Structure 1
């Protein structure tokens, strides 16, 4: 097995808030271009005077198959021709990323994104390109060749680009170290690495982490490591994930369908108590705004989620402190979605809260009331999310204490609207409890903030 020196995340500064940004997958699948990446980066940096970037949306990620010349919308090409250099390191397709021509890779695009004050990320698959293995190329700095270090029996079930690596072979870590160093040298700040968790490839997770640590030390720059997909991911892997990654998916791909959002209420109830600066449980990208432009699934469309469902998603992700990566094409997205993404009061929950967790769940499936709570470290400010999975609007009464709010809560405000929320005082009619009495939209939420003192 490869070397472990002091733990791969030793001496790395831990982020105090979840990573945030834009990812090309929901809109463009495997086909995004340099022009489209830069258009989304510029919107992040400049929209509404820079409100999105100022709110923390600071990372731009080019998703899968930027190295595939024949990439198409709606799936993958089996046995696709991939671009790679003399060491088997994947290279961007110049027809889609013109600035990469002449062997420059993503360095010019990363510089352009950095010049906007943003961070730059790319997607990688676990392992090494099959065609690079077949070419039997030299592994830099070793006597080994790519044909020796591949595990041809270890393949991704949904994408044929790569073989796994033989992590018991010394050439495998040497090749991975050199490859990661190469892409970090382009200016990459964020690596989304796929086919890592379903099944759970413990050896690949450790090898990647070590390679990233070494690249960070060489280049003097922090690199965020994101692992996916999270299909049936177990909490049994929690400590290993915390040691070797910054964020990890807890589900398969999520799309703009209410059942996908509803399912995350349960998943994040399991994972949120364990999410924080040591590592972030990822509820997946936000399919909001204009999605499906040339994506894997669906026709070009604005997100099929209603306003209430969109706000349920954003409220849950923030209470659970999930990473926030929007997948819609921002320049062609609607103003209402962009405004919700920049909502300072909602994003404050992700930035300042801790201890987010499910407090109450009752009712039949498809018509449940689910209550979440979170608070600042000193408990001075508290938040409660009152969610309804019912298909119609309904009135919900919840004891304030059941929502994590003290008996004399003071001023309670709906975060989305800024509206002061009346409370029913303790009485015989309320069973002796102060009660939240709120109208919740269909598939909606009331995200409430308790101010530390009563309103004047």
Structure 2
């Protein structure tokens, strides 16, 4: 049976969905590559809820390279120490235009435009004692030179006991708003947890007058104890370090998302990280040019976990050169409905290699269940219907295969591949298709 997709909820009522340049292009993405992915998204993914294009780190670095960062990089700054796109990579940014022309082209495709930024103020602005826009202060006065990122040498932190620190963030975000930025991924915010930096950045967004979503990374020092602060200031926050196309990375997310899933809501989203699917590693930080190293079963498990735990979805592979099988996974509306319409999502069983998750639907009748095998070999499992919230008369549909699943009124009997998953829609009699 072909089912009509349910309407996609308003953007603020669901986790963000988009494409990010990091997994395929690392620090080196170009304007043409961003636009190629934006056009593909418009043509193939927008109708399925994917609507945000994000330029990741070092867009202001003209000498950026694959597999790492340049020390003392010659970052492009304006007269007030604010980053500007490197014109050799983003030609439309010439003559001080910034990202405004590129953002407009993305908007003209019906999409939203986002960018990555590092915490703090560029070290080159501090060394040059550049003025902070709208103040009588200079960069060296507002910087905290003892606060540095352990993996990127571009910036110092800000001294938030100095009024010029907030003024710097205000001016930076005001420029982003003028360019038409809709989404900011702010990095080096969560390791350790920089409470004052996060609050200052959120305030700068509020003062900009533009509804910019704030995403926080990298996530290695974030806990549920921070939930209220995170919800107050951000749209989404990472709960791990960078995730790549390795099963051990995916498997580690089961425990993390089990902790966070009960708290997911329009008040904010715990982020299991980008989807390293399709064509990755083209000029990336890790690995060589390749298709995703996860098996198809592992890719299905990854997406199933992200959906049932309601994580944001940020595709990391290059869309135009990813295989059709990847695009099919990303555009399965029956599966995406779990992300959009589920509630009360939680892990309900973890026994040896078997993991079960359940969720309800906002319609009050439909239920969802995900069955995962963490085993290294194919396995047969019998899942009692009661353990996933279904009765003997429930209709069971597996949404990845788009097929109805017979059962004996007691158990679902499944054959799962190594590291495989099934995602079920469970409906009582009389539920509309």
- The TM-score bracket by the shorter chain reads over 0.9
1:332 and 1:110 mapped to 2: Cα distance? Answer: 23
Matches within 5 A, 1:193-342: 193-215=186-208, 217=209, 221-342=210-331
Give yes or no for contact 2:282–2:290 (8 Å, CA) kept in 1.
yes
Structure 1 residue 437 and structure 2 residue 430: aligned? no
Give yes or no for contact 2:66–2:284 (8 Å, CA) kept in 1.
yes
Deviation track 1:25-51 (CA, whole Å, cap 9, x = no partner) reads: 00000000000000000000012xxxx
Aligned residue number for residue 28 of structure 1: 25
Structure 1 residue 116 and structure 2 residue 97: aligned? no
- Secondary structure of 1:357's match? strand
- Secondary structure of 1:396's match? strand
1:278 and 1:340 mapped to 2: Cα distance? Answer: 27
Structure 1 residue 381 and structure 2 residue 366: aligned? yes
Describe the shift of the 1:454–1:309 C-alpha distance in structure 2 as closer, same or farther (beyond 3 A). farther
1:95 and 1:452 mapped to 2: Cα distance? Answer: 59
Instruction: Choose the corresponding residue for 2:385, options 380, 397, 400.
Output: 400
Aligned residue number for residue 5 of structure 1: none
Cα deviation, residue 409, structure 1: 4.2
Aligned residue number for residue 410 of structure 1: 394
Cα deviation, residue 126, structure 1: 0.2
Aligned residue number for residue 336 of structure 2: 347
Deviation track 1:156-187 (CA, whole Å, cap 9, x = no partner) reads: 00000000000110111111101110111101
1:303 and 1:310 mapped to 2: Cα distance? Answer: 9
- Secondary structure of 1:395's match? strand
Cα deviation, residue 14, structure 1: 7.7
Unaligned runs of 5+ in 1: 1-12, 426-433
Give yes or no for contact 1:14–1:277 (8 Å, CA) kept in 2.
no
2:123 and 2:99 mapped to 1: Cα distance? Answer: 22
Aligned residue number for residue 421 of structure 1: 405
- Secondary structure of 1:332's match? coil
Instruction: Choose the corresponding residue for 2:72, options 71, 79, 96.
Output: 79
- Secondary structure of 2:13's match? coil
Matches within 5 A, 1:139-150: 139-150=132-143
Unaligned runs of 5+ in 2: 1-9
Instruction: Choose the corresponding residue for 1:453, options 426, 429, 432.
Output: 429
Aligned residue number for residue 6 of structure 2: none
Aligned residue number for residue 64 of structure 1: 57
Give yes or no for contact 2:398–2:405 (8 Å, CA) kept in 1.
yes
Give yes or no for contact 1:231–1:252 (8 Å, CA) kept in 2.
yes
Structure 1 residue 371 and structure 2 residue 356: aligned? yes
Give yes or no for contact 2:397–2:405 (8 Å, CA) kept in 1.
yes
Cα deviation, residue 298, structure 1: 0.4
Cα deviation, residue 452, structure 1: 3.5
Cα deviation, residue 378, structure 1: 3.8
1:159 and 1:388 mapped to 2: Cα distance? Answer: 38
User: What do you get for the CA RMSD once the two structures are aligned?
Assistant: 1.3
- Secondary structure of 2:82's match? coil
Question: How many residues end up aligned between the 2 structures?
Answer: 423
TM-score by length of 1: 0.91
2:428 and 2:110 mapped to 1: Cα distance? Answer: 35
